[in-house]
Amino acid sequence: MHSTRRQWIAGGLTAAAVAQTNRAPVVNGAEHAWVLGNARYPIRPDLSVCPASTPAHEYSAEFLLAEMKTYRVDHTVISHVCYYGRDNSYASYCVKKHPGKFAAIGLLVGHRLHDPADKENPARLERLIVEDGLIGLRLSPIYNKDTVWLNDPACYPLWKKAEQLRATFNIFLAPHQVRQVGDMAQRFAGVNVVIDHIAMIDINAPDSDGFGPLLDLVKHPNVYIRTSLHNPSKTKEMPYRDVWPFLKRLYDRFGPRRLLWANFFEYAIMKDVIPFFTTEDKEWILGRTAYRLYGFDRGTRA
């Protein structure tokens, strides 16, 4: 799968397309990162959010840097991988070892992590940002579909601390949980919220089952959409044309300044294939928005 994606992307990146000067920053909005056989950063099933899944290969910071060089991507946001659970030390290492290249969002609260009601969570978030150099969290209520915790008042202190720290929260959720994001985005308008994977919408379902509420989040100016294409796709065939009508609706509603892309294998699609993005649109979607959201405009945090 990865080799097929690489071939597709490489075929779409011409010399003219990447030989730009004085261009806007290009920011990959989400990649996981991990190493194998490293005693300093061991993968521990007892901490893992996904203990039934173990990696067969590395996806290290150094590998990400090589990919960034290949595709002329300036910065990458590391979404701390489930294998490490609440041990965010490898994400912190990446940010500090390669200042200015990476930002990172950590795992702290939720499924197999700290209880959302734990009173220590705000202090943990502060340490993660101030000491470890991360920019925010990934919250994944999708793993607790029958338990409402994202907008539980017990989480208000965590979000209040996030406001104080200018943090960004990525939210990985199911369609029926979208309204919970609206509750928190309105209450804590100082927290930037990025919806991951287009809220895992079912593109065959009626709007009332998730996409309608997602579009309604536009009324909260601190909510952004990560333009994942591969997850909602039913065909799973690049360039995921079956998702384009939904991408167009997001674009029409939110505008280019509130959209961002992720994953190297979708870069060429977003950059060269989607027919309704203008040149200026692409500057925002491919980098300007994420550059600000993830703190690259603030300089290094290491």
User: Can you give the CATH number for the domain in which 185 is found?
Assistant: 3.20.20.140
* Helix spans in 59-197 (H): 61-71, 89-97, 121-130, 156-165, 178-187
Q: Is 205 helix (H, G, I), strand (E, B) or coil?
A: coil
H helix or E strand, kind and range, residue 260: strand 259-260
Please give the Cα distance from 17 to 82 (Å, whole number). Answer: 34
Look at residue 299 in the predicted model and tell me its pLDDT: 76
Look at residue 121 in the predicted model and tell me its pLDDT: 98
Token reading at 71: 């595709």
**In this predicted model, what pLDDT tens digit does every residue of 81-118 receive, in sequence order?**
999 999 999 999 999 999 999 999 999 999 999 999 99
Look at residue 302 in the predicted model and tell me its pLDDT: 42
**Domain extent for 227:** 2-298
Q: Is 202 helix (H, G, I), strand (E, B) or coil?
A: coil
Please give the Cα distance from 211 to 196 (Å, whole number). Answer: 13
Close Cβ partners of 40 (under 8 Å, ≥ 6 residues apart): 89
Residue with tokens 């491919």: 286
Look at residue 230 in the predicted model and tell me its pLDDT: 94
Q: In whole angstroms, how far apart are CA 283 and each of 75, 110, 198, 228, 271?
A: 14, 34, 20, 17, 9
Look at residue 8 in the predicted model and tell me its pLDDT: 53
Terminal C-alpha separation, the chain: 34
Number of domains observed in the structure of the chain: 1
Please give the Cα distance from 53 to 235 (Å, whole number). Answer: 24
Residue segments in the chain with a per-residue pLDDT below the cut of 50: 14-20, 301-302
**Cα four-point dihedral sign 219, 154, 178, 226:** positive
**Cα four-point dihedral sign 210, 179, 151, 124:** positive
Q: At what angle do helices 156-165 and 121-130 cross, to 10 degrees?
A: 20
Look at residue 16 in the predicted model and tell me its pLDDT: 39
Which of 91, 101, 174 has its CA nearest to residue 140?
A: 174
